């Protein structure tokens, strides 16, 4: 078990989390410039104070049958020297959680870091570095 300061957010009815140190900023959802030929979950590009940011609709990435998100927030995260935006339905809280990383390894999903529990509800803790690497390389 690993105790991690976790940023909690919702995509659909599922509660997700990530290491709060991966998050840089939370922005209101805004229009983006679509990239021709990009995957359906790549919403497009936005300008954040002079930096061009690729925006990924996390709901569509996790469930390809889901319609694109129309309301919500953009969670800005840094991967190495690049900012990436993840569209989530809502940002909930920041809490220290005990994460069972063995469950993430057993799930076989490279983007799942592990599972935690908050008030009896499951929290899927994502490995944002792995998720973003998959998206940017696909």
Q: What is the pLDDT of residues 16-59, one digit of tens each?
A: 999 999 899 999 999 999 999 999 999 999 999 999 999 999 99
Q: Which domain holds residue 106?
A: 2-137
Q: Average pLDDT of 74-92?
A: 90
Say if pTM beats, i.e. exceeds, 0.85: yes
Question: Does position 106 have pLDDT exceeding 70, yes or no?
Answer: no
What is the reported pLDDT for 75? Answer: 95
Question: Does position 105 have pLDDT exceeding 60, yes or no?
Answer: no
Q: How many structural domains are present in the chain?
A: 1
Q: Is residue 69 within 8 Å of 31, Cβ to Cβ?
A: no
CB atoms inside a 10 Å sphere around CB 55 = 25
Rg of the Cα atoms in the chain: 14
The chain-wide mean pLDDT, for the chain, equals 89
**Structure tokens belonging to residue 33:** 């410039």
Question: Does position 134 have pLDDT exceeding 90, yes or no?
Answer: no
Q: Average pLDDT of 85-92?
A: 95
Q: Average pLDDT of 66-77?
A: 91
**Structure tokens belonging to residue 41:** 């979950």
What confidence tier does 129 reach under pLDDT thresholds 50, 70, 90? confident
Distance CA 89, CA 59 (A): 8
Give the CATH number, domain containing residue 32.
2.40.50.180
Q: Which of 54, 30, 26 is nearest to 42 (CA)?
A: 54
Residues 6+ apart with CB under 8 A from 96: 3, 4, 5, 6
Residues 6+ apart with CB under 8 A from 46: 30, 31, 32, 33, 52, 53, 55, 74, 85
What is the reported pLDDT for 108? Answer: 45
């Amino acid at each position: 078990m690993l105790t991690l300061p976790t940023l909690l957010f919702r995509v659909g009815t599922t509660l997700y989390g990530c290491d709060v140190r991966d998050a840089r900023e939370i922005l209101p959802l805004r229009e983006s410039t679509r990239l021709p030929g990009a995957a359906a979950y790549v919403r497009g590009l936005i300008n954040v104070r002079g930096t061009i940011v690729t925006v990924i609709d996390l709901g569509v990435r996790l469930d390809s049958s889901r319609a694109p998100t129309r309301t919500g927030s953009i969670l800005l995260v840094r991967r190495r020297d690049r900012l990436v935006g993840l569209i989530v339905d809502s940002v909930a809280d920041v809490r220290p959680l005990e994460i069972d990383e063995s469950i993430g390894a057993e799930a076989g999903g490279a983007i799942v870091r592990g599972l935690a529990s908050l008030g009896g509800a499951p929290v899927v803790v994502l490995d944002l570095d792995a998720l973003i690497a998959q998206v940017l390389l696909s």
